[in-house]
Amino acid sequence: MEAEPKFELASNRNELRYWRRMKILVTGAAGFIGSNFVRYELGQYADVSVAALDSLTYAGNMENLAGLDGDKRFEFIKADISSPIDMGRVFGAHEFDAIVNFAAETHVDRSLMDASIFIQTNMFGVQNLLDQCRKRGVRRFLQVSTDEVYGSLGAEGKFSEDSPIQPNNPYAATKAAADLLVRAAYKSHGIEAVITRCANNFGPYQFPEKLIPLMIANAVEDKQLPVYGDGMHVRDWIYVEDHCSAVDVVLRKSEPGKIYNIGGNHDVPNIHVVKTILKALDKPESLIRYVADRPGHDRRYAMDSLKLREELGWDTKHTFDTAIAATVRWYLDNRGWWERVRSGEYVKYYESLYGERLKSQ
């Protein structure tokens, strides 16, 4: 979707004039990356104002935004991005300079159980936001996308922004569809949209259904660690704060119509990650259980983020080793947070996904 830039650049290269005092709508703000991004923006910019929107699904948690209520630059809005009524109300009551859309159903395993809510939020929700941007003349829309839209790599190489879109699971397919809707809104209606596609995140506030927090929580409780297949599937890991700084730089500096890959340059097999966690917690490898593989499981992801580095000057600040140590520490220090979410619906979910798999090993 690359095309002619529409922004007027200030004398300071890449610094856009009207982004000085930005009012940003951050959707999915009570989730893992959204809440980290809200804290990042408020920490970096004195003159930013953040409307944090979330419908509070099982993955949304007001505890993730704790302590921000007293900040005059912050407000929370409970609303559903896939509801035209909710969005009409929200956009009618505020004038946003930019939207950063983190709101999504995000867990691949859940999308394999039932894809309908993924279609609702990840596709209808995105179109709904784009419609509001068009109607209200919002200046910028940033869609937070994923490396999963590219499908799987073979033994060599990395995904570039020109790699074909070949999603292999329902979650990835809905994210790919959203990217195409964003592209169409840019091409057809001139919505000043940009897309970021990031690798696997880890860090504080990640819901313990995803590999790293699940393995930490299970190991702390001396429960079995379910590793899919042979454990040799490769993911490219990035610390959440590095993802936030990348989204921030694209939001403020990118020309419209651009797509940027974001990677951590740390692509390793899952079993290495699991063993690193066990070592950090001083727990035995006998907790590991190899279980039946995830259907359609992508074998390898690795991201080439050269374009983002060269065009916008971004880089990671954290190494995997220091960031995973900090993450393990955070889960040890915040045991109440993950124990509270590992109850109720979570227990049913866990049993339906892992019950048979763990029994049959």
Contacting positions for ligand NAD (CB under 6 A): 27-28, 30-34, 54-57, 59-60, 80-82, 102-106, 121, 125, 144, 146, 175, 198, 200-201, 207
DSSP string, 161-196: TTS-----SHHHHHHHHHHHHHHHHHHHH---EEEE
Instruction: Answer yes or no whether residue 211 interacts with ligand DAU by CB under 6 A.
Output: yes
Binder of ligand DAU out of 35, 122, 143, 146 (CB under 6 A): 146
For ligand NAD, the closer CB: 34 or 283 = 34
Q: Give the DSSP H/E element, type plus range, for residue 131.
A: helix 126-136
Q: Which of 327, 201, 326 is nearest to 262 (CA)?
A: 201
Catalytic residue among 54, 80, 105, 148: 148
Q: Is 241 a catalytic residue?
A: no
Q: At what angle do helices 84-93 and 126-136 cross, to 10 degrees?
A: 40
- Tell me which of ligand DAU, ligand NAD, none is bound by residue 207, counting a contact when its beta carbon lies within the kind-specific cut-off of 5 to 8 angstroms: ligand NAD
User: Is residue 216 exposed (0-12), middle (13-18) or buried (19+ Cβ within 10 Å)?
Assistant: buried
- Tell me which of ligand DAU, ligand NAD, none is bound by residue 112, counting a contact when its beta carbon lies within the kind-specific cut-off of 5 to 8 angstroms: none
Kindly give, in sequence order, each residue whose CB lies less than 8 Å from that of residue 109, ignoring residues fewer than 6 positions away: 209, 294, 353
For ligand NAD, the closer CB: 49 or 121 = 121
**Residue of minimal Cβ distance to ligand DAU:** 146
Binder of ligand DAU out of 110, 139, 140, 235 (CB under 6 A): 235
The residues in 251-280 that bind ligand DAU, with binding defined as CB under 6 A, are 270
Residue 86: CB minimum distance to ligand NAD, A: 8
For ligand NAD, the closer CB: 283 or 320 = 320
Instruction: Answer yes or no whether residue 107 interacts with ligand DAU by CB under 6 A.
Output: yes
Q: How distant, in Å, are the alpha carbons of 165, 221, 246 from that of 180?
A: 10, 43, 21
Residue 148: CB minimum distance to ligand NAD, A: 8
Residue with structure tokens 């619906």? 345
Strand partners, 258: none
Q: How distant, in Å, are the alpha carbons of 84, 85, 130, 222, 297 from that of 92?
A: 12, 10, 14, 51, 42
Q: Are 290 and 227 in contact (CB under 8 A)?
A: yes
Q: Is 8 a catalytic residue?
A: no
Q: Tell me the C-alpha distance between 273 and 278, whole Å.
A: 9
For ligand DAU, the closer CB: 73 or 223 = 223
Tell me the residue ranges of DSSP E strands in 15-139.
23-27, 49-54, 74-78, 98-101
User: Is residue 21 exposed (0-12), middle (13-18) or buried (19+ Cβ within 10 Å)?
Assistant: exposed
Instruction: Answer yes or no whether residue 199 interacts with ligand DAU by CB under 6 A.
Output: yes
- Tell me which of ligand DAU, ligand NAD, none is bound by residue 34, counting a contact when its beta carbon lies within the kind-specific cut-off of 5 to 8 angstroms: ligand NAD
State the amino acid at position 222 in one-letter form: D
Q: What letter would DSSP give residue 113? A: H
- Tell me which of ligand NAD, ligand DAU, none is bound by residue 226, counting a contact when its beta carbon lies within the kind-specific cut-off of 5 to 8 angstroms: ligand DAU
For ligand NAD, the closer CB: 167 or 226 = 167
Instruction: Answer yes or no whether residue 226 interacts with ligand DAU by CB under 6 A.
Output: yes
Instruction: Answer yes or no whether residue 248 interacts with ligand DAU by CB under 6 A.
Output: no
Residue 249: CB minimum distance to ligand NAD, A: 16
Residue 273: CB minimum distance to ligand DAU, A: 8
For ligand NAD, the closer CB: 7 or 124 = 124
Give me the active site residues, please: 147-148, 171
